Structures are given as structure tokens and as C-alpha cells.
Amino acid sequence: MNYNVNEKGYYGEFGGAFIPEMLYPNVEELRQKYLEVMAEPDFKKEFNQLLKDYVGRPSPLYFAKRLSEKYHTKIYLKREDLNHTGAHKINNTIGQILMAKRLGKTRIIAETGAGQHGVATATVCALMGLECIVYMGEIDIARQAPNVARMKMLGAKVVPALSGSRTLKDATNEAIRDWINNPVNTHYIIGSAIGPHPYPDMVTRFQSIISEEIKWQLKEQIGRENPDYVVACIGGGSNAAGTYYHFLHEPDVNIIAVEAAGLGVNSGESAATSVLGKEGIIHGCKTLLMQTNDGQITEPYSISAGLDYPGVGPMHAHLCKTGRAEFMAITDDEAMTAGLELCQLEGIIPAIESSHALAIFEQRTFKPDDVIVVSLSGRGDKDLDTYIKYFKL
Amino acid sequence: MNRINQKLKEDKKLLSIYFTAGYPSLNDTVTIIQNLEKSGVDMIEIGLPFSDPLADGPTIQASSTQALKNGMTTEVLFKQLKDIRKSVSIPLIIMGYFNPVLQYGVEAFCKKCQEIGIDGLIIPDLPVDVYHDEYKTIFEHYGLINVFLITPQTSDERIRFIDSVSNGFIYMVSSASVTGSQSGFGDENTAYFKRIADMHLKNPQIVGFGISDHETFTQATAYAKGAIIGSAFIKHLTSKKIDTINEFVNFVVK
């Protein structure tokens, strides 16, 4: 079984590029050039240099001793939370800004939900001196004021998405419309492993530095490259894609994908796409998405703003359908508890997204010898307000 | 012969009007279609509303959101149109995004369209390549004309391909934009209209996006067979009653 994208842009039956003709020239240009550009020695050098000196990579692979003791197994945390800007998102924005420059683009647009990808995009635009416009749902702008301020300080223009449900999916629609209106000078930096081909594959490749490092770090620490499990939370699925990438075709590595169950998978307030979703088209790709019987896209819910996307990247839809990955759903309460536990056992305040991945240890038993790598995709600073309210701190 | 092909043979510039089904009120669909025909419109695009219409601007998105709130669904639309051919004879096209069609089932959708007397479909996010490889035979089996878009950025080679796959008309997007986002055409638009006319395609072209009044209609049809009005008509429906449709049409074609 092949879990990578095929030449037509599909992962099994998922993926493709279901885009209006207005977007075709842009997406086609990217499709024709992205692999070639990424393979250029110059590009690689600049990318790796920035990851090292600017982002602070490699991010540590940390053996969480007290957490491991509690759950009688061996838990390693891949510390993406220590990256510049506080999450894995920057790996992709660095890659795409370099791509945009090589394609001769002078104007950058992005969508953002909680604001992490928006901040990561505004950051690299400041770094490269490019104009930056970030679309963000009107409701998210109100919920995530500190990130809006960060983007503004970094010189980005934050445009409210006023249509539809005024959250992430609508911000994505607005960014796509902007791209339709500005087809020549603009590059759209999508933040997750979603969108029309080649975006899911391009984002996955930029994020694959995560699993590339895990391999040699694990080899250094325990003498073997492959863990028994890799675990990551999934909204659209960019940190998960990067965490799994170099293990996809290693059958002895089990893959666990953790979705946000919100108030409970069947509560009507959930973002567990693998359970609640059906095959369909969202934002240019065929994948699993939450929708009405009639094909209208519905609004998901999670306490974590980074996981409440109604779809999931096409690679993950394929991993789910083929059974290559095991999908688990974690509720708000379970995630918040796991987040607090990490603070108290390891002195690390995780992003609520990442807390979902940590919550599986209460749900599922592992063997004492199992080596489990969990992607700690982001840090919890941005979530302090939510933590304060939830735990009445 | 398909009503669209017949209409395209008439020796006149065609006016096609888009409206969102279920807007302003859920049950306005049939009345709007009848009034449009009575007002002398040549062709109608019935918009099947979608929650996330990527290619549309704020006017059409807002009308879609309202239509969905009003209770419009694929099933409801098909019920409303059940007897439409008893009172309306001009070409009718359903325009909608691919996901609702996919959920209904592409073949079931096409079959239903044929039963009702729908002549064609416009599905902006179903790319010509995918259509050609997977769905063309189904559409043709049910006698439906599928209409593709081209834009000023579409390469000549791709336009030729689209022309070869098309069997009705080509929907020529006037400029790089979403619907309802510009006013008036400049030299750049005219040059593009002329460039396409000079390609002598087998399918006639109908211009859409940015046509709102008599002037833009005249400019758009100087080189093309016709023009489509969407957002401007929706705005008219929003501010006026649906029995004033003829005022709008007269204002455009005079």
C-alpha cells in the first residue's frame, strides 16, 4: 500500500484539485514546480539554515520520565512547542515563503483559526519583507485578541471573514477568494495539510522534518530509529502529517491520530471528522468532512481552536480508510485534564491541541516496553485564557 | 435538440440571469423563473445554494446563506421544479457546487435533471479534467450540457481543450474576480473578449462576472454571444419585490 500522494494528486480515493477554473493557473504552476524547487540545493540550504538558526531546530525529543512512570510505558515528547512562534506551524510557513519567492510572488495571503498559522505567516513575511494579509473569522478575532495583536505588530493586515459562520472555514473561503481576485502576484500559504493538490503534499513535506528528526534522535537515545507508536492530534492534520511521514511505510510503527470529540462524539458539538464525516469536497480536495445529508458543510466544535476544522487532510482520510492509522477521539474535559497533568508532571504547559494527544494515555494501555513518540505540537501560552476559565485559576 | 443549443442559434445577443433558489423566500423559485421568462430573458441559471461558495462574492454568498436558512435543499429544489416545463420553455441550467451534487449522487442528480427538463449544469469546482475522465458519459447519457468557465488567465491550450469537451457554450469569466466584485469594463477586458473571439472556438461564449446594467451588457456582448447577470439581479431581488423583475430586465436590454 502506498500512503504518499500519487502523480494525479490522490491518496487512494482522496485528494485531487476540485477548484474553480479561476484558481487553475496558480495551482497548476505550483503543481508543476513545487517538487523541482524543493529539490534545488539552494532551496534546501536556505530552508535548513532558517530552520536551524531562526526556528531553533532540531526541536528536542524529550523522554518524559514522570509521565512514563505514571502510565507504565515509555513516552517521548517531540518538542515542537519550543519552535520560534510556539508551534510546528512555522516549519511550513518558512518553506512556503521560500517557495513564494522563487515563484516571483510579492504578496502573501493566509487563513487562520486560532491565529497560530497567521502569526507564523506574518512572521516569515516580516522576515522576507513581503506584504501579508491574513483572513480570520470575525468570531475568532474576538476570541483570539493576543494573536491578532501579534500579527499586527509583525506588520500583517488582519481581515475579518464576515461570511457564513465567521470562523476558520470562512476565513479559508475568503483567502481563496482573494487568490481568485489576485491571480498573478499572490501566493496563498495554506496552514494545514488540506486544500487542492499539491498543497497537502507540499505542507506534509515541509512538516516532515518532524519525523526526520525523530528518527535520528531516537537512534541516538535508544539505539533504534523506529518507535512502536507515533501519536499526534489532528485538525486539518499538518503536525500529524509531519510526525507520521517517515514512518508511513514502516509497518512496525503504529500510527495514532487523535481528533477532538468536543463535548462528546455524539453530542452534536464535536470535531471528530473520522467518525462524523463523510466523503465529500471541501476547500478543493476530496476527503472526509462533516456535512449535512444534503452536502452543506457544518460547523464543528472543540475547546481547541486549532482542531475545530470540519474536514481532515486527504492523506489522513486515506490512513483512516485503509486502517493504517488508528483514530481516537478525545473530549474537551479529557484534553484539559491531560494538559494540566503535563504541567504538573513535566513542567510543560502544552497547547490544548497537543493536550488531546496526551489524553490517550488515560484511554488506552500500552506495554511497559513500548516506545511512544507524542508530537507536542505547540505551547500553551496562547491558551492561557481558556485554561484560566476552565480551571478557574 | 437541447434547448440551449437551439437558443444559441437565434440571431441575437442572449441575456442569461442567475438567481439563488430559495431566495428571498423559500417558495419564490418558480415565480422568479416564470417572471424572468415573461420579461424576455433568454436563459436562466438556477443557483443551488451551498454553504461555502468559493467562487462567489458577498452578494451571492449572503443569498445562499439565507436560502439555506429558509430551508432550501437539493430535494426541495427538485420538488419545486417538478412541473416547471408546463409553464416555462426557455433553457434552464442548474448552477451549484460539486459537493451537494456528489452527496445526492452524480448519476441520480443528472437523472432527476433530465426528468424535470433541466438543460445543463454549471459546477465551478468540478474541473474539466475530472469531468472528462469520470462524469462526461453520465452527463451526456441524461442529455445535459455541462458548461465550463474560462478566465483571462486560462491558457490558449486549455481553452482549446475546454472547447473540445464542451457541447453548449463557454462561460467566459470577464476578469480575475469572484462574482459581483467589479463595476465597468476597461481596455484590458475588451482586449480579452476580442482575443477569445479571434480564437474562433466551436462553442459560443457567454460572458459572466461584472455585468450589471445596459452598458456592461453591451460591452460584454460586443464580441460574445451573450452575457450572464447574477449579483446585480440578486441585489434587485433584495431591495425590490419579485413582481418587478421586468423592470430589471428592461433596464439591462432596453
Task: Check CB contact of B97 with chain A, cutoff 8 Å.
Answer: yes
Task: Check CB contact of B128 with chain A, cutoff 8 Å.
Answer: yes
Q: Determine, for residues A19 and B97 on separate chains, whether the beta-carbon distance falls below 8 Å.
A: no
Confidence class for position A244, pLDDT limits 50, 70, 90: very high
User: Would you say residue A67 has pLDDT above 80?
Assistant: yes
Contacts of A309 in chain B (CB under 8 A): none
Q: Give the three cell numbers for residue B109.
A: 442528480
Instruction: Write down the pLDDT at residue B84.
Output: 98
User: Would you say residue A262 has pLDDT above 90?
Assistant: yes
User: Would you say residue B177 has pLDDT above 80?
Assistant: no
**Average pLDDT value for chain A:** 96
Which residue out of A8, A21, A281, A297 would a mutagenesis test of the B interface target, given it has the greatest number of B Cβ atoms within 10 Å? A21
Could you report the per-residue pLDDT of A334-369, keeping only the tens digit for each?
999 999 999 999 999 999 999 999 999 999 999 999
Confidence class for position A17, pLDDT limits 50, 70, 90: very high
Q: Determine, for residues A24 and B127 on separate chains, whether the beta-carbon distance falls below 8 Å.
A: yes
User: Would you say residue B216 has pLDDT above 80?
Assistant: yes
Residues 56-115 of A with CB under 8 A from B: none
User: Would you say residue B183 has pLDDT above 90?
Assistant: no
Could you report the per-residue pLDDT of A185-223, keeping only the tens digit for each?
999 999 999 999 999 999 999 999 999 999 999 999 999
Task: Check CB contact of A18 with chain B, cutoff 8 Å.
Answer: yes
User: Would you say residue B190 has pLDDT above 80?
Assistant: yes
User: Would you say residue B182 has pLDDT above 90?
Assistant: no
User: Would you say residue A275 has pLDDT above 90?
Assistant: yes
Confidence class for position B1, pLDDT limits 50, 70, 90: confident
Going edge to edge, which strands form the sheet with A107-112? A157-161, A131-137, A107-112, A186-189
Higher pLDDT, B186 or B235: B235
Confidence class for position A142, pLDDT limits 50, 70, 90: confident
**Choice among B12-16, B88-92, B110-114, B171-175 with the minimum mean pLDDT:** B171-175
Instruction: Write down the pLDDT at residue B175.
Output: 85
Could you report the per-residue pLDDT of B83-139, keeping only the tens digit for each?
999 999 999 999 999 999 999 999 999 999 999 999 999 999 999 999 999 999 999
Inter-residue contact B14 to B7 (CB < 8 Å): yes
Average pLDDT rounded to a whole number, residues A125-133: 98
Closest partner residue to A296 among B50, B124, B127, by Cβ?
B50
B95 CA: distance to closest CA in chain A (Å): 13
Task: Check CB contact of B57 with chain A, cutoff 8 Å.
Answer: yes
- For residue A228, with 0-12 CB atoms within 10 Å meaning exposed, 13-18 middle and 19 or more buried, which class applies? middle
Could you report the per-residue pLDDT of B17-47, keeping only the tens digit for each?
999 999 999 999 999 999 999 999 999 999 9
Q: At what angle do helices A199-207 and A24-39 cross, to 10 degrees?
A: 30
Could you report the per-residue pLDDT of A78-93, keeping only the tens digit for each?
999 999 999 999 999 9
Task: Check CB contact of B130 with chain A, cutoff 8 Å.
Answer: yes
Q: Determine, for residues B125 and A25 on separate chains, whether the beta-carbon distance falls below 8 Å.
A: no
Closest partner residue to A297 among B52, B57, B62, by Cβ?
B52
Q: Give the three cell numbers for residue B240.
A: 425590490
User: Would you say residue B185 has pLDDT above 90?
Assistant: no
Q: Determine, for residues A282 and B52 on separate chains, whether the beta-carbon distance falls below 8 Å.
A: yes
Confidence class for position A156, pLDDT limits 50, 70, 90: very high
Average pLDDT rounded to a whole number, residues B212-222: 93
Task: Check CB contact of B173 with chain A, cutoff 8 Å.
Answer: yes
Closest partner residue to B178 among A16, A181, A281, by Cβ?
A181
Average pLDDT rounded to a whole number, residues B41-67: 95
Task: Check CB contact of A260 with chain B, cutoff 8 Å.
Answer: no
**Average pLDDT value for chain B:** 95
Q: Cα(A276)–Cα(A293) distance, rounded to whole angstroms? A: 12
Q: Determine, for residues A163 and B62 on separate chains, whether the beta-carbon distance falls below 8 Å.
A: yes
Closest partner residue to A281 among B65, B99, B181, by Cβ?
B99
Q: Determine, for residues A293 and B103 on separate chains, whether the beta-carbon distance falls below 8 Å.
A: yes
Task: Check CB contact of A16 with chain B, cutoff 8 Å.
Answer: yes
**Choice among A159-168, A188-197, A379-388 with the minimum mean pLDDT:** A159-168
Which CATH number applies to B13-253? 3.20.20.70
**Choice among A17-26, A197-206, A381-390, B176-185 with the minimum mean pLDDT:** B176-185
Place of cell 507508536: A229
Q: Cis before residue A60, ω within 30 degrees of 0?
A: no
User: Would you say residue A125 has pLDDT above 90?
Assistant: yes
User: Would you say residue B179 has pLDDT above 80?
Assistant: no
Give the burial string for B7-42 (b: 16+ CB within 10 Å, else e).
bbeeeebbbbbbbbbbbbebebbbebbebbbebebb
Looking at chain A, the whole-number percentage of residues with pLDDT higher than 70 is 100
Average pLDDT rounded to a whole number, residues A247-258: 98
